[in-house]
Each structure stands twice: as C-alpha cells, then as structure tokens.
C-alpha cells in the first residue's frame, strides 16, 4: 500500500486528463488560421530590423491587415465548422423547436423555427448550448431520412453587424455552411461534405 | 505564470485541465477552453498561462454569475499548507474524481492551481482577484473536504 500526499494524487489525476482525440489539433489549427490572417504578427520577431524601416513596415502592415483581416461573419463560420465537426451529444433531446425553446432557458434570445433551411425534409433531434464569437448560441441537431446529421445555429446578431438579408455560403474544413439573418438572429446551417 | 509558452500544445493542455477543475465536466471543459482560446487569439493576447487562465475563468464566471460560488472566510496568513497535507493511502482515480466532484468550483480551482500548477497563494490570489488569506482558507477547506469525501475509500484501501 502506497501513502502519498493528497496534492500529489490530485496532480497525477489531472496529469492523466486529456481532451478527446482531435480537440487539441483543432485548437492548434485555429491558432494557425487566425494568426495567418493577422499578418502584423509576422513582423514581431524582427524588431532589430524594424528600426530602419519602421514607418514603411507599419504603414504596409496596417494596410494589409485592413485588406485581409477576416470579418466577423467569416470568423463565425469557422467556429460553426468547428462546432459541427466536434459532433457533441445534445444536452436536450426533442423533436420540435417549441420544446427546445422552453428547455434552453440560458439563451438570452428566443429560439425560433427558421422560415426555411438549405436542405428539405429534416427533423429536429435535439440541441445543446455552444458559443459563436463569444455569444451564447444554440446548436440544433437535425437529421434527414437517410440518417445524415446536420447542425443549425442561432445566436444574437452582433451589434452594428451588416444584417443584410443576403445568404452567405462557406466551405471550411470539409463543412459547407450557410449563414443568414432572420428575426434579428444570426443563423448558420452546417453539413459535412462527403 | 506570465512567461509566453512556445509549446502551444502544453499551454492548451494546461488550459483544458484548468477548465476541467472549474467545470468538473469534460465536454464543458473542452467548450470552455475553445471559447477562451478563440478570444485570446482574436485579442492577439500573449500565449501565457496567466492570460489563458484568466480568459477561461471569466467565461466560466459569466456562465455561472448568478451562483454564489462559496462563502469567503479568511484564515490567518500564517496557515501552513504543507503540514495540512500528510500522506494518505493511494485511493485511485475513480475515488478522486468523485471526491473532487464534491468540492465547489472555486475550491476545486484553488486546489488545482496550488497542487497541479504549483501556484503560490499570492499568484492564485492575483488570478482570482481574491485576498491571499481567502486563498489559504479555500485551500484548507478544499483539502479537508477531499479528505472527508475520501474517508470511506481510505478505510477500504487501508484494510486491503
């Protein structure tokens, strides 16, 4: 029988804890994706050279970041792709929006049934909380007649976001995403691509 | 604590384990660390444990802001943490997980930061924006609760 300090036993307990397969890889990929989109960071390691060309470099970097920085909608789509690929089990099992609306009390908006979906003939199977760009969101799980799963997201519209009715479409990491605004909410619908 | 970590994998693992100490729920810990990580990246924040842990903590508190996490009763600053932790039989991960689940999040968090991350009471106080005496009180309380929760398991191990 071994005697050890409680703190050592707790330390060993946590040291064995790992997130599920693929989680760290996704977070690291997120790092690469976001830092690759913010080119001002690239120049930080070359501080000694920067002294001689500081003004030009700064001006160029500012211009470049304005031109290429991803907008909020694109960042939200990336997070939707991640959430879709995580394929987490629903916290609430229900077959219609009314039941989910009543169950998901933590949402700071009223969950609504969308007017239309990019795919027809889907039925609701459940939902869970998630977040999109720091906003609490609902991830609603849908399934078609063939058993293929889709996810639908609803969250608050970012203040002063462009709430034009145009639908946007993205393909990110093998996930096709449609985004649109409806009833003052941002909607996103995600489907894995075969 | 405030030094940038070049090994992002190690940083994220620490972040996940810290989130787990707050939530005691693996899926929620993954969600929490993901949200915080995105925020750190978008804010172009430093890749330090202190910065990531603060982001994780603020998100956790935002979700639980209506809960009063634990009554804060300061102990004497002369409290000796080492003498409060004599050896005990190895109880195994299942018993530890159960016992850790009996703690309040703030107690589990404090114990995690001290035991696993090796933070001092001052460092924990800074992260939690809590006086040092309160941190020591939380540590003492967490350790006592863990020992009580593990009492049955310790007896069972001792009899084998």
Sign of CA dihedral A139, A151, A192, A156: negative
Which of the residue ranges A125-139, A174-188, B16-30, B70-84 would you say has the lowest mean pLDDT?
B70-84
Q: What is the pLDDT of residue B56?
A: 93
Q: Does A4 touch chain B (CB under 8 A)?
A: yes
Q: What is the pLDDT of residue B87?
A: 79
Mean pLDDT of B51-56: 93
Element (H, E) at B95: helix B93-101
Q: What is the pLDDT of residue B72?
A: 44
Q: How much is the mean pLDDT over chain B?
A: 82
Q: What is the pLDDT of residue A14?
A: 93
The 10s digit of each residue's pLDDT in B13-46 is 999 999 999 999 998 899 899 989 988 888 888 8
Q: What is the pLDDT of residue A173?
A: 87
Residue from A82, A189, A79 nearest A135 by CA:
A79
Chain A interface, best mutation among B7, B34, B84, B121, by max A CB count within 10 A: B34
pTM comes to: 0.53
ipTM given for this complex: 0.82
- Measured CA to CA, the distance from residue A100 to residue A113 in angstroms comes to 10
- Using CA coordinates, name the residue in chain A closest to B154: A3
- Measured CA to CA, the distance from residue B46 to residue B159 in angstroms comes to 50
Q: Does B17 touch chain A (CB under 8 A)?
A: yes
The 10s digit of each residue's pLDDT in A31-89 is 777 776 555 555 555 555 556 566 666 566 656 655 555 577 788 888 999 999 888 99
Q: What is the pLDDT of residue B45?
A: 83
Q: What is the pLDDT of residue A105?
A: 85
Mean pLDDT of A101-113: 87
- Using CA coordinates, name the residue in chain A closest to B36: A134
All residues of chain A having their beta carbon less than 8 Å from the beta carbon of residue B33 are 19, 27
Q: Does A55 touch chain B (CB under 8 A)?
A: no
Mean pLDDT of A159-181: 77
Q: Does A68 touch chain B (CB under 8 A)?
A: no
- Measured CA to CA, the distance from residue A101 to residue A113 in angstroms comes to 9
| Nearest CB neighbour to B85, from listed A5, A31, A34 | A5
Q: How much is the mean pLDDT over chain A?
A: 80
End-to-end CA distance of chain A: 54
Residues in a beta bridge with A126: A141
Q: Does A28 touch chain B (CB under 8 A)?
A: yes
How big is chain B by its Cα radius of gyration, in Å? 16
């Amino acid at each position: 029988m071994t005697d050890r300090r409680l703190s050592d036993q707790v330390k060993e307990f946590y040291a064995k804890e790992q997130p599920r397969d693929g989680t760290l890889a996704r977070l690291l990929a997120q790092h690469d994706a976001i830092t690759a989109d913010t080119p001002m960071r690239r120049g930080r390691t070359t501080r000694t050279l920067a002294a001689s060309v500081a003004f030009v470099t700064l001006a160029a970097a500012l211009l470049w970041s304005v031109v290429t920085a991803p907008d909020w909608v694109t960042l939200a789509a990336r997070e939707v792709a991640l959430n879709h690929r995580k394929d987490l089990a629903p916290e609430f099992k229900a077959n219609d929006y009314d039941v989910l609306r009543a169950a998901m009390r933590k949402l700071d908006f009223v969950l609504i049934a969308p007017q239309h979906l990019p795919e027809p003939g889907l039925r609701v199977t459940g939902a869970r909380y998630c977040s999109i760009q720091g906003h609490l969101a609902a991830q609603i799980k849908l399934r078609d007649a063939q058993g293929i799963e889709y996810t639908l997201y609803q969250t608050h519209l970012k203040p002063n976001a462009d709430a034009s009715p145009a639908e946007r479409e993205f393909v990110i990491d093998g996930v096709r995403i449609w985004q649109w605004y409806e009833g003052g909410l941002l909607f996103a619908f995600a489907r894995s691509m075969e | 604590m405030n030094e940038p970590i070049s090994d992002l994998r190690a940083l994220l693992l620490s972040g996940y384990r810290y989130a787990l100490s707050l939530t005691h729920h693996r899926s929620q810990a993954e969600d929490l660390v993901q949200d915080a990580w995105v925020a750190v990246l978008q804010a172009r924040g430093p890749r330090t444990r202190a910065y990531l842990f603060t982001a994780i903590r603020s998100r956790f508190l935002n979700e639980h802001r209506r809960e009063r996490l634990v009554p804060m009763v300061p102990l004497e600053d002369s409290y000796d943490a080492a003498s409060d932790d004599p050896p005990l039989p190895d109880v195994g991960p299942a018993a530890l997980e159960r016992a850790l689940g009996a703690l309040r999040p703030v107690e589990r968090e404090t114990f995690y930061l001290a035991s696993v991350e090796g933070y001092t009471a001052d460092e924990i106080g800074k992260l939690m924006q809590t006086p040092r005496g309160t941190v020591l009180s939380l540590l003492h309380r967490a350790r006592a609760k863990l020992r009580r929760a593990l009492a049955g398991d310790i007896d069972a191990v001792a009899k084998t």
